[in-house]
Amino acid sequence: MANAQNFTVSFIIRTARMTEGQAPIYARISIDGKRTEFSIKRSILPELWNKEAGKVKPKSKEAGQVNAFLDQIRKRLWECYSESLLNNKVITGSYLKNLYFGIDEETLKTTKDLFKYHNLTEKERLDKATFAHYQTTQKYFNEFLRKKKKTEIIPLKTIDYKTLVDFELFLRKKTGLNGAEVMHTNTAMKHFCRIRKMLNLAERLEWIQTNPFKNYKIRYERKERDYLNEEQLEKLENKEFSIQRIQLVKDLFVFSCYTGIAYIDIQNLTKDNLVKGIDGQDWLSFLRHKTKSAIKLPLLKKAKEIIRKYTNHPSLEATSWLFPRISNQRTNSYLKEIADLVGIRQNLTFHMARHTFATTVTLGNGVPIETVSKILGHTDLKTTQIYARVIENKVANDMQSLRNKLERPDFQPNRKTNQ
């Protein structure tokens, strides 16, 4: 707790924030060397300010009125301080500032309250990995507050546009786990998406009146997603491995290339997920783990062949799993070996199979983007549009078809004539 020896009130001007030649005056609360400042909504010409005394020079005409106002503020802050001591409060500069402005911190909701409520209500609803991402975002925001505000807890109502801009600058300077690279823009924006969702929650709870994201735009950088082209996919399909665990990973990767199913969903597939579709053909019906959206997927020939291959696998005896179990970490580790053995130079990860399905297998073969979006379980078509890029081979083939059509001797252009 603070005491009379380490509590002071002083006044300063901010020449860096001058407007029309006048500098704003700030009150500064100091407790144990920690400072909290706020504008008193008055300005003064810098040459009229006595920096040492912390007030307007006495010979100026503004001195009487402004200095009297400063004395009133100092007196009220000392009253707030004395009142807090009598009530045995833990005194901080932020607490005294709020008390001065008549803000009741007992009912004022803070970032700590929001994070606690969010984690309590969302832990069971969010995927384990997604919930961990939220915790990382909260950790970074608290780290930002410690550096910028000298505290981990601030009132939600004080989060404004400037706070968001400052947080973005903080993230952009933050290095990755290896300490070699700064955080990528898209990674930073994902943290902002989570902060926005939590502030949306605060708005619904009426803990804040205005969401600062109203004026803040989240900006992602367009990033090309790696995928296997037809030649690479065929090369991978035709490669057989003598080591069983590597062969399994290859088969699961190829299965994803022909279904678009994510790793976690493949691991959760059971025989009960195999159904007959509306066309009488084999389909998979399941809930996507990430979004809980229902997926109904007609199976292509290659996918059915891989399912049949593991129907009587020894590790699946007395279980209902469709495929043998293997961890995501080991899977991606084996994929790096597979890439080297097959001669694929890209960084082969399991998620690349999903990109390959979207790009090479479906969109590249003329499947409408709406259908691909439905199969992938996207809740927003914009998510699928990331994959709808120009594929050079398809462009070449389409243009060659056009050339052949235009160069035919019997070609008649479809022109409208005026009647």
Nearest of 362, 330, 363, 365 to residue 349 by alpha carbon: 330
Among 56, 75, 100, where does a domain finish?
100
- Whether residue 359 is predicted with pLDDT greater than 90 in this model: the reply is no
Residue 293 forms part of a structural domain: no
| Residues 205 and 242 grouped into a single domain | no
Q: How far apart are CA 103 and CA 109, in angstroms?
A: 11
| Residues 92 and 115 grouped into a single domain | no
Q: Angle 172-36-82 (CA atoms, 0-180°, nearest 5)?
A: 155
- Whether residue 178 is predicted with pLDDT greater than 60 in this model: the reply is no
- Chain centroid to CA 184: how far? 11
Residue 120 forms part of a structural domain: yes
Q: How far apart are CA 152 and CA 101, in angstroms?
A: 21
| Residues 25 and 50 grouped into a single domain | yes
Are the beta carbons of 253 and 318 closer than 8 angstroms? no
Among 100, 130, 165, where does a domain finish?
100
Mean pLDDT of 344-366: 87
Contacts of 244 (CB under 8 A, 6+ apart): none
| Residues 258 and 378 grouped into a single domain | yes
| Residues 33 and 179 grouped into a single domain | no
Q: What is the CATH number of the domain that holds 259?
A: 1.10.443
Nearest of 366, 390, 370 to residue 378 by alpha carbon: 370
How crowded is the C-beta side of 101, counted as CA atoms within 13 Å? Answer: 14
Q: How confident is the model at residue 2 (pLDDT cuts 50, 70, 90)?
A: very low
The secondary structure of residue 241, as a DSSP letter, is: -
Residue 279 forms part of a structural domain: no
Q: How confident is the model at residue 403 (pLDDT cuts 50, 70, 90)?
A: confident
Which strand (E) or helix (H) includes residue 113? helix 111-122
| Residues 348 and 238 grouped into a single domain | yes
Mean pLDDT of 191-214: 89
Q: How far apart are CA 327 and CA 266, in angstroms?
A: 12
Both tokens assigned to 260: 């678009």
Nearest of 115, 158, 116 to residue 137 by alpha carbon: 115
Residue 188 forms part of a structural domain: yes
Q: How confident is the model at residue 133 (pLDDT cuts 50, 70, 90)?
A: very high
Residue type, 39: S
Q: Where are the beta strands (DSSP E) in 149-281?
A: 274-276
| Residues 86 and 130 grouped into a single domain | no
Q: What is the pTM of this model?
A: 0.58
Q: How confident is the model at residue 331 (pLDDT cuts 50, 70, 90)?
A: very high
Q: How far apart are CA 67 and CA 117, in angstroms?
A: 45
| Residues 236 and 365 grouped into a single domain | yes
The secondary structure of residue 349, as a DSSP letter, is: -
pLDDT-wise least confident of 78-82, 212-216, 309-313: 212-216
Residue pLDDT, tens place only, 38-60:
999 999 999 999 999 999 998 88
Q: Taking the CA atoms of the chain, what radius of gyration do you get in angstroms?
A: 32
User: Could you give the maximum distance between any two Cα atoms of the chain, in Å?
Assistant: 100
- Whether residue 3 is predicted with pLDDT greater than 50 in this model: the reply is no
Residue 333 forms part of a structural domain: yes
Nearest of 384, 123, 367, 140 to residue 258 by alpha carbon: 367
Percent of all residues in the chain with a pLDDT value above 90, rounded to a whole number? 49
Find the Cα–Cα–Cα–Cα dihedral 98, 100, 102, 107, rounded to 10°.
30
Residue 198 forms part of a structural domain: yes
Please state the domain count of the chain: 3
| Residues 181 and 245 grouped into a single domain | no
State whether the Cα torsion 406-409-414-419 is positive or negative: positive
The secondary structure of residue 390, as a DSSP letter, is: P
Mean pLDDT over all residues of the chain? 86
Q: How far apart are CA 296 and CA 260, in angstroms?
A: 12
| Residues 24 and 115 grouped into a single domain | no
Domain that holds residue 155: 111-214
CA distances 54 to 32, 63, 94, 101, Å, are 20, 12, 21, 22
Both tokens assigned to 272: 């009960």
Q: How far apart are CA 145 and CA 147, in angstroms?
A: 5
The secondary structure of residue 225, as a DSSP letter, is: P
Q: How far apart are CA 386 and CA 370, in angstroms?
A: 13
If you search the block for the tokens 């290339």, which residue do you land on? 257
Residue 346 forms part of a structural domain: yes
Among 54, 80, 100, where does a domain finish?
100
Mean pLDDT of 317-334: 92
| Residues 159 and 73 grouped into a single domain | no
| Residues 237 and 376 grouped into a single domain | yes
The secondary structure of residue 270, as a DSSP letter, is: B
Residue 256 forms part of a structural domain: yes
Which strand (E) or helix (H) includes residue 34? strand 34-44
- Whether residue 227 is predicted with pLDDT greater than 90 in this model: the reply is no
Are the beta carbons of 334 and 249 closer than 8 angstroms? yes
